[in-house]
């Protein structure tokens, strides 16, 4: 498969001069890039480059000391995580962050909690609006379960599932929110080749079928170069490259960052 | 052999999401309820009512309440005795200050007051977790013990501090007989247990469990921790408060603050740990276990001693009781840390295959 060449013109999210530090440690310094609507944007870089910190800033989990993030035309310097969720930003985690005591179905249903509005009283009676709402959202969730081919583990507590399936359930939970921007933190880490191929297929299908904009962090360069439209490279909290995969492959600063150079 | 769901096809999501999707479970639960409502009143003696049935039924409700908070939302609480006391004293104050209200309406209102107090003492949970939260809820317990002993207004300035419940009746029908007491408590517990089950299987229950299992991930998919935790505190305290009102009005009749001491908080916590965290059925099983075990030991120890020619005095029996009780709890936690409810589901799984091994 060769790199896809697609063009995008509408910017969904842009990061402007973000700086984030923890005490004396500068995790991100003066980072700017943008994510276009409908593209697959990869963030790569060696370990400790600040990739996850970048995602955490985008979805409001960290608050950068400097800079601002413009999402859908609204400029913010700070956002709380659930506000980000309400704005249509969903994510998965590098270390799986599922609700281990709950079944696959319940985990994915939880992804729709922002769309479920009936109050405690109707919930307690479980008739009328509460029952209708539960069925409606179940139908939506079943579509995701079909899409991700996890029908057989619907009722299994996720704590009992193998790693690869847990990653898939976590993607399902993020998809259940029907996000406009999906942040994936190392969706293929620790997977074998078949699992990686499945996951790539899901990521591409989500992008094609639902038009979801995807921003992913990944260490497998083959995957990154194949599926992403544009790539931003971080190293030691600084941006060292930004462009389409072919440019990144030939960028000397990127090659140096990965291979190491003698200074 | 009798517990097979083969051939039971679910053709709608509603059927798949039912509380008891398997027909045998539905029938068993229905039979249990029919026995509890229609058979027990004809066979139970007054002793059985006072010593076993009424305490089990009321404490089941309180245990369900604590399970909402600890088992479903993962917030440790040592203040359940306090919330029972708030429910009881609030119901009492409604009854004496608004005498036209039915005592059972007062009990429900008491539950709402307990929910309010629960929310107030739940606020620290927004910042602290685990043992630290347990300490904060412990403060609720000590505060309630102090308030109901020292603030005389709550006890309507009775000199001894002991207060009496109003006579129990609904529309002129006297409900003071043990049978009527039992039925009333059973109605409260069954109705509220069903309501709680409905909440925990809906989106509010899923928010609670999401907070319990991984609060950061929950927040990132849009659960508001404040809303989720405080609703859990409110629902939990409401149930515990209603149980406290029933305990005071129906079971005790007259009581003093010691009735809702910290021992009660610990007792409820043992019930849900032994019964099973995060299970409505487990709350009931745990309550039954904790109430029945001392009675069983009390009855069984003297004849057991007689087998070996020992004469066991009542004092010795009560010592043994405490020792065996403690040992059993520890044994239980080691052998089945997920409680009686898990044991029950393992048994059901075995029963599906029986008589084949797998």
**Residue A255: which CATH number?**
3.40.50.300
Is A50 in the B-facing interface, judged by CB distances under 8 Å? no
Min distance B220 CA to chain A CA atoms (Å): 5
Query: How many of the other CB atoms lie within 10 Å of CB of B340?
Result: 22
Q: Among A117, A146, A177, identify where a domain stops.
A: A177
> Given this model, what pLDDT does residue A154 score?
92
For residue range B157-179, what is the model confidence (pLDDT) as tens digits? 888 888 998 888 888 888 889 99
**B212 has a pLDDT exceeding 60:** yes
* Parallel/antiparallel/unpaired status of strands B173-174 and B254-255: unpaired
For residue range A67-84, what is the model confidence (pLDDT) as tens digits? 999 999 888 877 888 889
Whether A5 and A59 share a structural domain: yes
What pairs with residue B164 in β-bridges?
B254
Is A90 in the B-facing interface, judged by CB distances under 8 Å? yes
Min distance A263 CA to chain B CA atoms (Å): 41
Assign B346 to helix, strand or coil. helix
Cα A231 to its chain centre, rounded Å, is: 15
CA separation for the pair A5, A2 (Å, rounded): 9
> Given this model, what pLDDT does residue A1 score?
46
Residue B171 lies in a domain: yes
Residue B297 lies in a domain: yes
Domain count, chain A: 2
Percent of chain B's residues with pLDDT above 70: 100
Most confident of A186-195, B186-195, B324-333: B186-195
Question: Residues for chain A: how many in total?
Answer: 263
Assign A217 to helix, strand or coil. strand
User: If residue A164 lies in a helix (H) or strand (E), which one and from where to where?
Assistant: helix A163-176
Residue B15 lies in a domain: no
Q: Which residues of B touch A120 (CB under 8 A)?
A: 199, 204, 231, 235
> Given this model, what pLDDT does residue A4 score?
59
Chain B interface mutation, best of A88, A90, A113, highest count of B Cβ atoms under 10 Å:
A113
Domain count, chain B: 1
Whether A135 and A190 share a structural domain: no
CA nearest neighbour of B275 among B284, B262, B267 = B284
Which pLDDT band, with edges at 50, 70 and 90, does B347 fall under?
confident
- Own/partner contacts of A241-246, CB < 8 Å, gap of 24 or more, are A242/A33, A244/A3, A244/A5, A245/A3, A246/A3
Q: What is the largest CA-CA distance in chain A?
A: 70
**B205 has a pLDDT exceeding 80:** yes
Torsion angles phi and psi, residue B205, rounded to 5: -60, -40
CA nearest neighbour of A207 among A16, A14, A39, A13 = A39
**What CATH number does residue B187 fall under?**
1.10.3470
Cα nearest neighbour of A114 on chain B:
B222
Whether A183 and A81 share a structural domain: yes
- Residue A214 CA: distances (Å) to CA of A45, A55, A211, B326: 17, 12, 9, 56
**C-beta atoms of A99 and B209 within 8 A:** yes
Is A221 in the B-facing interface, judged by CB distances under 8 Å? no
Residue A227 lies in a domain: yes
CA nearest neighbour of B129 among B37, B29, B211 = B211
Q: Among A147, A177, A207, identify where a domain stops.
A: A177
Residue A172 lies in a domain: yes
In this complex, the residue of A90, A106, A130 whose CB is nearest that of residue B221 is A90
For residue range B27-69, what is the model confidence (pLDDT) as tens digits? 999 999 999 999 999 999 999 999 999 999 999 999 999 999 9
**C-beta atoms of A123 and B204 within 8 A:** yes
Q: Could you please report the per-residue DSSP string of B78-106? A: S-HHHHHHHHHHHHHHHHHHSTTS-HHHH
Q: Which residues of A touch B217 (CB under 8 A)?
A: 93, 97-99
CA nearest neighbour of B300 among B281, B328, B276, B273 = B328
**C-beta atoms of B221 and A110 within 8 A:** yes
Sign of CA dihedral A112, A118, A119, A121: negative
In A100-119, the residues whose Cβ lies within 8 Å of chain B are: 100-102, 106, 109-114, 116, 118
Which pLDDT band, with edges at 50, 70 and 90, does B4 fall under?
confident
Percent of chain B's residues with pLDDT above 90: 61
> Given this model, what pLDDT does residue B1 score?
63
* Parallel/antiparallel/unpaired status of strands B169-170 and B173-174: antiparallel
Residue B197 lies in a domain: yes
B64 touches B283 (CB < 8 A): yes
Residue B14 lies in a domain: no
For residue range B272-314, what is the model confidence (pLDDT) as tens digits? 998 999 999 999 999 999 999 888 888 888 888 888 877 777 7
Q: Which residues of B touch A118 (CB under 8 A)?
A: 202-203
Whether A4 and A60 share a structural domain: yes
Q: Among A177, A204, A221, identify where a domain stops.
A: A177
Query: How many of the other CB atoms lie within 10 Å of CB of A16?
Result: 16
Whether A51 and A167 share a structural domain: no
A26: containing domain: 1-88+179-263
For residue range B223-264, what is the model confidence (pLDDT) as tens digits? 999 999 999 999 999 999 999 999 999 999 999 888 899 999
User: What letter does residue B165 receive in the DSSP assignment?
Assistant: P
For residue range B107-153, what is the model confidence (pLDDT) as tens digits? 999 999 999 999 999 999 888 888 899 998 999 999 999 999 889 99
Whether A109 and A165 share a structural domain: yes
Let me know the angle formed at the C-alpha of B264 by B262 and B268, rounded to the nearest 5 degrees. Answer: 120
Residue A1 lies in a domain: yes
**A219 has a pLDDT exceeding 50:** yes
Whether A114 and A233 share a structural domain: no
Chain B interface mutation, best of A110, A167, A170, highest count of B Cβ atoms under 10 Å:
A110
Whether A129 and A139 share a structural domain: yes
Q: How is the beta sheet containing A25-36 ordered, strand by strand?
A: A25-36, A11-22, A66-71, A74-76
**A174 has a pLDDT exceeding 70:** yes
Residue A93 lies in a domain: no
Min distance A260 CA to chain B CA atoms (Å): 35
A42 touches A228 (CB < 8 A): yes
Whether A185 and A80 share a structural domain: yes
Whether A71 and A184 share a structural domain: yes
Residue A15 lies in a domain: yes
- Residue B57 CA: distances (Å) to CA of A135, B163, B246, B323: 33, 23, 10, 26
Whether A158 and A223 share a structural domain: no
Chain A interface mutation, best of B201, B222, B339, highest count of A Cβ atoms under 10 Å:
B222
Whether A74 and A184 share a structural domain: yes
Residue A95 lies in a domain: no
Q: Which residues of A touch B199 (CB under 8 A)?
A: 120, 123-124
**B346 has a pLDDT exceeding 90:** no
B334: containing domain: 45-353
CA nearest neighbour of A44 among A197, A240, A260 = A240
B242 touches B112 (CB < 8 A): no
pTM surpassing 0.90?
yes
């Amino acid at each position: 498969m060769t790199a896809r060449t697609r063009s995008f013109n509408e910017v969904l999210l842009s990061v402007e001069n973000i700086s984030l530090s923890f005490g004396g440690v500068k995790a991100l310094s003066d980072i700017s890039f943008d994510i276009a609507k409908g593209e697959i944007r990869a963030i790569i870089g060696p370990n400790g480059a600040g990739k996850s910190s970048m995602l955490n800033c985008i979805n409001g989990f960290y608050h950068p000391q400097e800079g601002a993030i413009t999402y859908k035309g609204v400029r913010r310097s700070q956002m709380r995580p659930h506000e980000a969720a309400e704005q249509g930003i969903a994510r998965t985690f590098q270390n799986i962050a599922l609700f281990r005591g709950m079944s696959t179905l319940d985990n994915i249903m939880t992804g729709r909690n922002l769309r479920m509005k009936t109050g405690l009283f109707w919930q307690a009676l479980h008739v009328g609006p509460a029952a209708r709402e539960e069925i409606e959202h179940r139908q939506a969730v079943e579509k995701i379960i079909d899409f991700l081919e996890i029908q057989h583990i619907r009722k299994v507590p996720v704590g009992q599932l193998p790693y690869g399936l847990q990653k898939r359930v976590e993607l399902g939970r993020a998809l259940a929110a029907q996000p406009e921007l999906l942040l994936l933190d190392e969706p293929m880490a620790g997977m074998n080749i078949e699992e990686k191929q499945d996951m790539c297929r899901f990521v591409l299908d989500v992008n094609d079928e639902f038009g979801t904009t995807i921003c992913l962090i990944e260490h497998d360069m083959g995957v990154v170069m194949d599926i992403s439209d544009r790539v931003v490279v971080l190293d030691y909290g600084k941006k060292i490259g930004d462009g389409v995969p072919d440019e990144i492959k030939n960028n000397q600063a990127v090659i140096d960052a990965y291979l190491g150079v003698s200074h | 052999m009798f517990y097979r769901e083969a051939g039971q096809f679910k053709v709608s999501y509603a059927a798949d999401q039912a509380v008891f999707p398997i027909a045998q479970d539905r029938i068993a639960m229905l039979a249990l309820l029919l026995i509890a409502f229609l058979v027990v009143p004809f066979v139970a003696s007054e002793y059985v009512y006072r010593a076993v049935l009424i305490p089990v039924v009321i404490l089941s409700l309180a245990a369900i309440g604590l399970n909402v908070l600890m088992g479903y939302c993962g917030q440790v609480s040592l203040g359940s005795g306090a919330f029972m006391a708030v429910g009881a004293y609030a119901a009492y104050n409604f009854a004496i200050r608004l005498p036209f209200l039915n005592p059972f309406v007062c009990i429900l209102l008491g539950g709402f007051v307990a929910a309010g107090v629960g929310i107030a003492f739940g606020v620290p949970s927004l910042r602290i977790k685990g043992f630290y939260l347990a300490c904060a809820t412990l403060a609720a317990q000590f505060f309630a013990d102090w308030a109901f002993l020292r603030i005389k207004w709550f006890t309507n300035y009775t000199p001894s501090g002991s207060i009496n419940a109003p006579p129990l009746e609904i529309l002129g029908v006297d409900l003071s007989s043990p049978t009527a007491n039992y039925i009333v408590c059973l109605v409260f517990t069954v109705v509220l247990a069903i309501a709680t089950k409905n909440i925990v299987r809906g989106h509010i229950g899923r928010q609670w469990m999401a907070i319990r299992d991984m609060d950061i991930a929950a927040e990132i998919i849009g659960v508001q921790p404040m809303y989720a935790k405080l609703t859990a505190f409110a629902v939990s305290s409401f149930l515990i408060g209603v149980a406290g009102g029933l305990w005071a009005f129906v079971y005790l009749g007259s009581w003093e603050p010691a009735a809702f001491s910290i021992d009660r908080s610990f007792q409820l916590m043992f019930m849900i740990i032994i019964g099973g965290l995060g299970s409505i059925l487990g709350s009931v099983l745990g309550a039954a276990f904790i109430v029945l075990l001392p009675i069983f030991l009390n009855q069984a120890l003297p004849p057991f001693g007689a087998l070996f020619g020992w004469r066991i005095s009542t004092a010795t029996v009560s010592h043994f009781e405490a020792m065996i009780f403690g040992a059993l709890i520890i044994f239980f936690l080691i052998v089945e840390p997920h409680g009686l409810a898990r044991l029950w589901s393992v048994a059901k799984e075995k029963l599906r295959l029986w008589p084949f091994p797998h």
